[in-house]
């Protein structure tokens, strides 16, 4: 039983806590849908669908269980598999006419019941919309929202030698990932995914129930610019169904597509190192976390040479395994020196680390598509998050040590992950995009996973109680202050709006959006006044 729990938690830590996952099969390069826009001489096949799958269809079982989180399984009247914006319009129109609550599934990695809520009667499945191509009319790269990040990386890189700084899990769908901000191993060098978002295509429902498709861009004169802004960190499922993104870096110009987005490094260095719990008493553990925090604070300014290094420090409960760190260096020179300096600084004056994996000169695309090599499977998962501007307080470090070293296997707190952050992420003002956490230097995840549904109460209680204890001084949640800086909407946690778990006087939406929430409400009222698109953490119309 303990070994099964350990394997489940390790998979969760690798696949969720650090955003990694299994490599995926990508269509062969050179297909029209992958590299060419319609009307450029390509012979494009007709789009998939539309397909209507009811509960008696054998495909229904697959489609309602496509989400990776087994905590939730929906029971909609039917699933619409769509292949074009017109198909989406038709599905939304039918939902409005029938008075059906509708939700959208992209990659299927949501941590709450946004899609699988019992009140959802129609699910629009975007997995048939995966095109990635250069759009010369907008001088930007178009990405359909059913494409996974792995598909996007492969097609952009093999086609033009460019990428977007997105997440480290290639099976995550672009649709939801981008709307929450998007963060990955290249973000310290190139900012967030949304920092390169030029435009968005959204199927909306107005106050009279009329369905229309709106294209919004970041151009100052665009009458729908506020809708573009809302999709730069406002989270998925709020304003309509996003069918397409366009990407072009701010300030990029000219007619050469290869100069319109960041170029990733030719190769990267990947590493993993571990400590032993028997070498980490309370004092050594405290020193380890304070060393880690000091390194991040000293090496997270914009333009820092160490911005090329991304790492995730995973604190494993002692009943499950040892604390370890994994990371990637995107520098083509001095990469190993950066890694050694990072690990030596964290271990200085405390327990020694063991370098358990070192891979030099890994082709960038290979690293992006494989991640850690850990598999992503359907499992019961609970995820919580936080940001920090500075090193954790001594009180928080004490809480982490107490929970991680609890010998009772019935009180497993989950895995705590501290990811390096900051650098170029902080170059943009907090209100320039909907993503408000520009001053954060650490992104923190709290994740637990289990295999048996009968263990749900115990595992959920473990991570909830740990999280509440970590933020006991601010009502059990990371209220923005000198150290804490709220939470990440792409790791949604419905507990934040539950007064039993959030006893602060800070509402859930301030934790996710801070002062940007009021403007998001105004956009919601303008483009979805009837609240057709909603879930447990959705933005409420002004």
**What does 412-455 look like in DSSP terms, one character per residue?**
---EEEEEE--GGGGGS-TTTSS---TT-SEEEEEEEEES-GGG
What backbone torsions phi and psi does residue 104 show, to the nearest 5 degrees? -120, 135
Judge contact between 129 and 82, C-beta under 8 A. Answer: yes
Which pLDDT belongs to residue 6? Answer: 55
- Measured at the CA of 51, the angle between CA 45 and CA 52, to 5 degrees, comes to 170
Token pair listed for 431: 């209100």
Which pLDDT belongs to residue 40? Answer: 41
Distance separating the N- and C-terminal Cα atoms of the chain:
50
Token pair listed for 227: 């809708």
Task: Indicate the domain borders of the chain.
Answer: 50-127
Q: Is the dihedral of CA 35, 41, 42, 47 positive or negative?
A: positive
Token pair listed for 488: 């990440």
Ramachandran class of 502: left when φ > 0, alpha when ψ lies in -120 to 50, beta otherwise? beta
Judge contact between 200 and 244, C-beta under 8 A. Answer: yes
Helix, strand, coil distribution of the chain in percent, nearest 5? 35, 20, 45
| Beta-carbon-side half-sphere exposure of residue 204 (alpha carbons within 13 Å) | 22
pLDDT tens per residue, the chain (542 residues)?
Answer: 455 555 555 555 544 444 433 222 223 233 333 333 433 444 577 888 899 999 999 999 999 999 999 999 999 999 999 999 999 999 999 999 999 999 999 999 999 999 999 999 999 999 999 999 999 999 999 999 999 999 999 999 999 999 999 999 999 999 999 999 999 999 999 999 999 999 999 999 999 999 999 999 999 999 999 999 999 999 999 999 999 999 999 999 998 999 999 999 999 999 999 999 999 999 999 999 999 999 999 999 999 999 999 999 999 999 999 999 999 999 988 999 999 999 999 999 999 999 999 999 999 999 999 854 444 578 999 999 999 999 999 999 999 999 999 999 888 999 999 999 999 999 999 999 999 999 999 999 999 999 999 999 999 999 999 999 999 999 999 999 999 999 999 999 999 999 999 999 999 999 999 999 999 999 999 999 999 999 999 999 99
Calculate Rg over the CA atoms of the chain. Answer: 22
Which pLDDT belongs to residue 4? Answer: 53
Kindly compute the dihedral angle of the four CA atoms of residues 382, 174, 480, 287, in this order, to the nearest 10 degrees: 70
Distances 477 to 448, 486, 499 between C-alpha atoms, Å: 18, 8, 11
Which pLDDT belongs to residue 144? Answer: 98
Which pLDDT belongs to residue 189? Answer: 97
Judge contact between 380 and 449, C-beta under 8 A. Answer: yes
- Measured at the CA of 294, the angle between CA 289 and CA 299, to 5 degrees, comes to 130
Which pLDDT belongs to residue 5? Answer: 53
| Beta-carbon-side half-sphere exposure of residue 396 (alpha carbons within 13 Å) | 22
Q: Is residue 199 packed enough to be buried (19+ CB in 10 Å), middle (13-18) or exposed (0-12)?
A: buried
What backbone torsions phi and psi does residue 447 show, to the nearest 5 degrees? -135, 140
| Beta-carbon-side half-sphere exposure of residue 394 (alpha carbons within 13 Å) | 3
In 3D space, the residue among 273, 270, 274, 272 whose CA is nearest the CA of residue 360 turns out to be 270
- CATH class for the domain made up of 50-127: alpha beta
Q: Which residues of 74-94 are buried (b: 16+ CB within 10 A; e: fewer)?
A: bebebbbbbbbbebbbbbbeb
In 3D space, the residue among 425, 441, 347 whose CA is nearest the CA of residue 392 turns out to be 441
Beta bridge partners of 450: 380
Which pLDDT belongs to residue 30? Answer: 31
In 3D space, the residue among 458, 455, 476 whose CA is nearest the CA of residue 467 turns out to be 476
Q: Find tokens 């990029």 and name the residue.
A: 252
Judge contact between 243 and 203, C-beta under 8 A. Answer: yes
In 3D space, the residue among 21, 43, 330 whose CA is nearest the CA of residue 165 turns out to be 330
């Amino acid at each position: 039983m303990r070994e099964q729990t350990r394997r489940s938690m390790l998979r969760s830590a690798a696949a969720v806590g650090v955003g990694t996952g299994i490599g995926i099969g990508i269509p062969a390069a050179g297909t029209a849908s992958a590299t060419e826009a319609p009307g450029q001489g390509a012979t494009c096949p007709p789009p998939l669908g539309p397909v209507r799958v009811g509960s008696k269809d054998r495909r229904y079982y697959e489609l309602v269980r496509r989400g990776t989180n087994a905590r939730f399984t929906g029971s909609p009247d039917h699933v619409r598999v769509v292949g074009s914006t017109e198909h989406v319009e038709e599905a939304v129109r039918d939902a409005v006419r029938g008075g059906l609550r509708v939700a959208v599934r992209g990659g299927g990695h949501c941590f709450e019941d946004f899609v699988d809520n019992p009140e959802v009667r129609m699910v629009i499945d975007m997995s048939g919309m995966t095109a990635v191509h250069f759009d010369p009319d907008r001088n930007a790269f178009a990405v359909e929202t059913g494409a996974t990040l792995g598909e996007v990386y492969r097609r952009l890189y093999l086609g033009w030698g460019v990428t977007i700084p997105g997440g480290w899990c290639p099976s995550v769908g672009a649709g939801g990932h981008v709307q929450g901000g998007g963060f990955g191993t290249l973000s310290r060098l190139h900012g967030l995914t949304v920092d390169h978002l030029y435009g968005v295509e959204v199927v909306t429902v107005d106050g009279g129930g009329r369905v229309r498709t709106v294209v919004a861009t970041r151009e100052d004169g665009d009458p729908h610019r506020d809708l573009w802004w809302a999709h730069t960190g406002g989270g998925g499922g709020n304003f309509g169904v996003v069918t397409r993104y366009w990407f072009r870096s701010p300030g990029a110009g000219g007619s050469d597509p290869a100069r319109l987005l960041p170029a990733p490094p030719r190769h990267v260095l990947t590493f993993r190192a571990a400590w032993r719990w028997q070498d980490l008493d309370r004092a050594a553990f405290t020193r380890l976390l304070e060393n880690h925090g000091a390194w991040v604070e000293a090496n997270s300014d914009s333009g820092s040479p160490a911005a090329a290094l991304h790492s995730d420090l995973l604190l494993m409960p002692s009943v499950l395994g040892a604390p370890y760190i994994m990371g990637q260096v995107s520098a083509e020179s001095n990469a190993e020196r950066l890694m050694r300096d990072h690990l030596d600084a964290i271990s200085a004056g405390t327990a020694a680390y063991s370098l358990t994996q070192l891979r030099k000169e890994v082709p960038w695309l290979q690293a992006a598509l494989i991640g850690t090599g850990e598999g992503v499977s359907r499992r019961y998962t609970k995820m919580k998050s936080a940001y920090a501007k500075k090193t954790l307080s001594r009180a928080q470090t004490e809480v982490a040590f107490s929970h991680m070293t609890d010998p009772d296997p019935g009180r497993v707190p989950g895995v705590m992950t501290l990811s390096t952050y900051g650098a170029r992420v902080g170059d943009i003002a907090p209100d320039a995009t909907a993503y408000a956490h520009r001053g954060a230097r650490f992104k923190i995840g709290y994740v637990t996973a289990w295999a048996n549904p009968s263990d749900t109460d115990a595992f959920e209680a473990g991570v909830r109680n740990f999280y509440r204890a970590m933020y006991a001084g601010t009502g059990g949640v990371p209220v923005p202050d000198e150290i804490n800086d709220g939470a990440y909407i792409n790791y949604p946690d419905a507990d934040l709006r539950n007064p039993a778990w959030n006893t602060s006087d800070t509402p859930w939406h301030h934790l996710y959006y801070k002062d940007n929430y009021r403007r998001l409400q105004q956009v919601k009222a303008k483009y979805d006044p009837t609240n057709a698109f909603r879930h447990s953490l959705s933005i409420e119309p002004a």
